[in-house]
Amino acid sequence: MKIVVLDGYTENPGDLSWSRLEELGEFIVYDRSSLTDEDEAISRIGEAEIVITNKTPITKRVLDSCPSIRYIGVLATGYNVVDYTYAAKKGIPVTNVPGYGTDTVAQFTFALLLEICHHVAHHSEAVHAGRWEQSPDFCFCDYPQIELAGKTMGIIGFGRIGQKVGTIAKAFGMKVLAHSPHEYASGKAIGTYVNLDTLLAESDVISLHCPLFPETEGIINQATIAKMKDGVILLNNGRGPLVVEQDLADALNSGKIRAAAVDVVSAEPIKGDNPLLTAKNCFITPHIAWATKEARQRIMDCAVNNVKAFLSGAPENVVNQ
C-alpha cells in the first residue's frame, strides 16, 4: 500500500510524528506541492493508492491521471480542494477531519477581538519604547478601551465553533445572537436564533464561522454592511471568500465598520494588492487560528483513524457518499 502526503508541512512542521501512517504502508511525505501545477501532483501521486492533502488541489485531471487512487484524505475540515463529486463517481471516498479546532479557533477569535478592544501589543511596544517612562500621567492610552460586557455578539454559523464562541461571549457578559441554516438544540441554550437582517442590525460584534458554500460566498458585502450598526466590529475566522474584501475595506476607511480582524483572506498567501492591507483598523493574521500543536495533533490522530477505517472496509468522515 503506497501512501503519499502532498503537503504535510503546515500540519507537521517537525513537532509531530507521521509514524502511525508510516506503519500502514510505503510512505512518503512532501512538505509542499504546487497549488497550480497539476503535473507536479500527478507525478508525486504516481501509483499511490492513498493520497493525503491539505491544500494541494486534487482535480478531475489529477484523478483521471492517477488511476491507482483508492482513497483521499483531507487534513482539514474544509474539503473543496478536492473534486469530491467526481471522486465519488470514480468510487473514491474523500474524508475530512471535523471538529479538531473548536477550542483553538474559538480562543483565537477572542484573541483578535481583545486586541481590537485593548491594543495590547501596541501598548506593550510603546512601553518598551520608553513612552510610559516619559508620560506625565500614571497611564496613557493611544486607543479607546472597549468593554465587552453588555454588548451583543452576532455569530453567523452556529455549529461547534460558533457555539463555543457564543459560550465564551456569554462569559464576558455579552448577549449572543445566532444565524444558521440549522437551529441546533444545543445552540438555543447559548444564544437566540434570529434572521440575518436582525443579527446585522443589532450586533456590536459580528463573527463569521459558517462554511463556504455558494449561498454564503460574499455574505459580507456592501448591502449587508449597510444593514449593520455604525461602528460594528467584524471578525472572520471562517473562510476568506465569505467577505467581499473591497466592500469591507471601504467600510473600514469610511468608519462604518470600526475595526475588523481576519485570519483568512480570499487568496492565500495574501497578495500585495489585497485592499485590506491598506484599510484602516484592519488586523490580519496569516491563517493560524487552527494551528496550535494540540489541534494539529487531533488532525493527525483523526487522519490516521480515517485511513485505518478505510482499510478495514468501514470508512469514516466520508464527505462524498
114 and 94, same domain (yes or no): no
3-state DSSP assignment of residue 269: coil
108 and 89 in one domain? no
The verdict on 163 and 224 lying in the same domain is yes
| Percent share of the chain, pLDDT over 70 | 100
Q: Which of the four pLDDT bands, split at 50, 70 and 90, describes residue 219? A: very high
Task: Write out pLDDT tens, residues 259-314.
Answer: 999 999 999 999 999 999 999 999 999 999 999 999 999 999 999 999 999 999 99
Task: Write down the pTM of the prediction.
Answer: 0.93
Whether 223 and 111 map to the same domain: the answer is yes
Domain count, the chain: 2
Decide if 90 is inside a domain: yes
Q: Give a yes or no: residue 21 inside a domain.
A: yes
Q: Is residue 238 part of a domain?
A: yes
Handedness of CA 179, 221, 174, 212 (dihedral sign): positive
Judgement on whether residues 201 and 249 belong to the same structural domain of the protein? yes
Answer yes or no: do 44 and 151 share one domain: no
Q: Based on the domain organization, do 227 and 266 belong to the same domain?
A: yes
Q: Give me the domain span that covers residue 89.
A: 2-100+293-311
The model's pLDDT over 162-203, given as tens digits with 9 standing for 90+, comes to 999 999 999 999 999 999 999 999 999 999 999 999 999 999
CA–CA separation, 249 vs 177, rounded Å?
Answer: 25
Clarify whether residues 31 and 151 are in a common domain: no
Question: Quick check: is 320 in a domain?
Answer: no
d(CA 155, CA 183): 13
Identify whether residues 187 and 250 lie together within a single domain: yes
Give CA separation, 113 vs 163, 204, 236, 255, 258, in Å.
Answer: 16, 12, 10, 17, 12
- Averaged pLDDT for residues 132-146: 96
Omega prior to 269 cis, within 30 of 0: yes
Could you give the residue numbers annotated as active site? 239, 268, 287
One domain, residues 51 and 62:
yes
Outline where DSSP puts E strands in 19-96.
26-29, 50-53, 71-74, 94-95
Q: Identify which of 254, 135, 258, 244 has the alpha carbon closest to the alpha carbon of residue 206.
A: 258
**Domain at 175, CATH number:** 3.40.50.720
- Site of grid cell 512532501: 30
Rounded distance, CA 309 to CA 223, Å? Answer: 46
270 and 143 part of one domain: yes
